[in-house]
Amino acid sequence: MHAATTSPAVGVPSEFAFDLQDFELVRTLLKQHTGISLSESKRGMVYSRLARRLRATGQRNFRDYLNGLRQGTAEWEQFVNALTTNLTYFYRESHHFETLATLLRTRAKPGTKLRVWCSAASTGEEPWTIALTAAEVFGSLTPPVEILATDLDTGVLATARKATYNAETVSKVPEALVRRYFIREASGDFTVRPELRSLVTFKQQNLLDANWQAKGPFDAIFCRNVLIYFDRDTQLQIVSRFAPMLAPGGSLFVGHSENFAHGQRALRLTGRTVYVRDDA
């Protein structure tokens, strides 16, 4: 048993010593390699999440653990995954899916597939809500839509691919749509129907990578409630990269607290946190 020490983050006895230098090293590593900026208020969260990694790896202190991290290793991936916030649920900011439904109806053309990129897919609720929306618009389990779902966190992508959720999670979905688009398992969990699962391709993607696996043009790009973790310059850089990947008239959907009406000219605000690329 490790001797209890006082964590400056919370002021109560803690299993591992965690000082300001440790926290600053975490912030630097995460910023350099993912672009994510951690505020001072996240110190307690960082301790809690990384203490699990120390236990799992048998490390006795944060300094040794952090100094031993090497990008590209399995533990580096666990480090990033542990610090990635993944709050999501079906039909989050539901007005976006009403807007998406209108966009899909408007842009549908015989013989062509509409393309949507969900760039922060997390555990899958967002891309599956996009798939449900498309199925409803076209009245089909196989609508003419291709969905690319990416995320930095490989752990949440595994959950998203599985497409199985407990009853509490699925309770956000209207009951009629649950009956139509999910299969109830013997365990009581619900799995997205295979026809809809075939619409979505999952890939690991860091939005700070120089080269994105995602290739446009897309009719819609979702990047909601993730840009808030970057500084303003990085936010605008990412938005400026999204713009040319949208087809003319395509839309970028961002989170309720994210505003890019100023600082860039490629996209025009058209509704509640929806930006459009005007026709070329």
Q: Which of 49, 107, 193, 197 is catalytic?
A: 49
Q: What is the DSSP string of 12-71?
A: SEESS---HHHHHHHHHHHHHHH-PPPPGGGHHHHHHHHHHHHHHHT-SSHHHHHHT--T
Does the annotation place 92 within a ligand binding site? yes
Give 112's DSSP letter: -
Which helix (H) or strand (E) segment is 194 a member of?
Answer: helix 194-197
The answer to the question of whether 265 is labelled as a binding residue is: no
Q: Which entry of 22, 151, 153, 219 is annotated as an active-site residue?
A: 151
Please check if 224 is assigned to a binding site.
yes
Residue 126 assigned to a binding site? yes
User: For the chain, how many residues are written?
Assistant: 280
| 207 in a known ligand binding site | yes
Cα dihedral angle (238, 241, 245, 249), rounded to 10 degrees? 80
CA distance 64 to 271: 49
SS3 223: strand
**Does 206 carry a binding-site annotation?**
yes
Residue 64 annotated among the catalytic residues of the structure: no
Q: Is 86 annotated as a binding residue?
A: yes
Beta-carbon-side half-sphere exposure of residue 107 (alpha carbons within 13 Å): 24
Strand pairing report for 114-118 and 268-271: unpaired
Is 49 annotated in the active site?
Answer: yes
Annotated binding site for S-adenosyl-L-methionine: 86, 88, 92, 126, 151, 206-207, 224-225
- Active-site residue list: 49, 151
Annotated binding site: 86, 88, 92, 126, 151, 206-207, 224-225
